[in-house]
Amino acid sequence: MNLQNDLLLKAARGEKTERTPVWLMRQAGRILPEYRAVRSSLSGFIELVKTPELAAEVTIQPVDILGVDAAIIFSDILVIPEAMGLPYEMVEKKGPFFPKTIHTAADVDQLKVANPEDLSYVTEAIKITKKELAGRVPLIGFTGAPWTLMSYMVEGSGSKTFSKARHMLYTQPEVAHKLLQKITDSIIYYVKSQIAAGADLIQIFDSWAGVLPPLQYEEFSLKYIRQICDAIEEVPVTVFAKGAFFALESLGKLNCDTIGLDWNMKVAESRDRIGGAKTLQGNLDPCALYGSFQEIEKATKSMLDEFEGGSHIANLGHGVYPDVDPEKVKCFIQTVKEYSSR
């Protein structure tokens, strides 16, 4: 089906567009009352992820309500560990928790490479979403990066330092590599199945990139992200490695189309480091949306000015925070649309 609005895909490929496309990480869920209404009818977050009709519904909400230029499938990065045999719980206000974690080579051996069929609830949600979107905007599929998924699988939950996961890199590097390869193989099957189901672009989230020293980041994270990028030929790929300022040059050499910037990264300098061949995505501070409408307009315009002269997909520098007023999000989106059409 032809897309009526293909700004995101054009910008990702570095083609000229009549204006800058805009969407928000975490736009599906969190901030919309319409999302909370769907969510409250269920026992929890994971049930919503596993109910394709409802996942599709909350995926489309921000397209209808906020006017973004792309939908991103409502799901979770931790569906992969679960499909590998390591289930998790989502603890309200605390985040993910794994009752069982990975410590030894034997633990890794017991994991399986995820079978896309075990993740058919995601591909089903993609198919429903594509049908209901009817070509209005592209649909983004996504995955966690291998290092980020490994962090949770070893640590068992979120952490300020992820020192247990990093412990394994120093004490059992061969176990870490074995685990990372198994996760990577799982991810490649998974993103391929998302693309087959209709995903128009794949974003890889390396949320915990920022806890690794530069050399370890190359060895334990980039090596595997590279495999994923090399395996995807069908659609554009975006890599968002939060906190990996030290790896921008290496990220620029990946076989991908777009690099996401967080709100700490200076735009001009990042472009120099990444190189001009990539589209950049980002990077307004999510907290800027706490400001007044006037301040949001100003901050958004100033961000667009910074990205001027290179291919750009407007976004925040991190997922939108749960307590942001949807009207403020609309102001951000509207400002991008109007100001970049000049």
**Applying CB under 8 A, which residues contact a copy of itself?**
158, 160-161, 163, 166-167, 169-171, 210, 212-214, 216, 243, 245-246, 263-266, 285-288, 290-292, 295, 317-318, 321, 323
Q: Which of 35, 69, 88, 152 is catalytic?
A: 152
- 137 vs 169, beta carbon nearer a copy of itself: 169
Look up tokens 């592209």; give the residue: 138
CB of 253 to a copy of itself, least distance (A): 17
Q: Which of 19, 36, 39, 136 is catalytic?
A: 39
Of 116, 50, 45, which Cα lies nearest the Cα of 83?
Answer: 116
Residue 339 has φ and ψ, to the nearest 5°, of: -70, -35
The SS3 call for residue 160 is coil
Cα–Cα distance, 126 to 306 (Å, whole number): 34
CB of 228 to a copy of itself, least distance (A): 23
Active site residue 170: no
164: amino acid identity, one letter: K
- 149 vs 165, beta carbon nearer a copy of itself: 165
Active site residue 36: no
- 137 vs 209, beta carbon nearer a copy of itself: 209
Cα–Cα distance, 257 to 72 (Å, whole number): 17
CB of 13 to a copy of itself, least distance (A): 28
Active site residue 39: yes
The SS3 call for residue 90 is strand
CB of 331 to a copy of itself, least distance (A): 13
Residue 334 contacts residue 289 (beta carbons within 8 Å): no
Cα–Cα distance, 192 to 199 (Å, whole number): 9
- 57 vs 262, beta carbon nearer a copy of itself: 262
CB of 312 to a copy of itself, least distance (A): 17
- 185 vs 262, beta carbon nearer a copy of itself: 262
Residues near 212 by Cβ (< 8 Å), separated by ≥ 6? 147, 166, 169, 220, 221
184: amino acid identity, one letter: T
CB of 107 to a copy of itself, least distance (A): 18
- 119 vs 261, beta carbon nearer a copy of itself: 261
| CB count in 10 Å sphere of residue 325 | 12
Cα–Cα distance, 262 to 284 (Å, whole number): 8
Number of H helices, E strands in the chain: 16, 9
Length of the chain counted residue by residue: 342
Active site residue 152: yes
- 247 vs 333, beta carbon nearer a copy of itself: 247
Active site residue 26: yes
Q: What angle do CA 202, 27, 306 make, to 5 degrees?
A: 80
DSSP character string of 203-216: EEEETTGGGS-HHH
CB of 129 to a copy of itself, least distance (A): 29
Residues facing residue 72 across a β-bridge: 140
Which H or E element spans position 321? none
Q: Which residues are catalytic?
A: 26, 30, 39, 76, 152
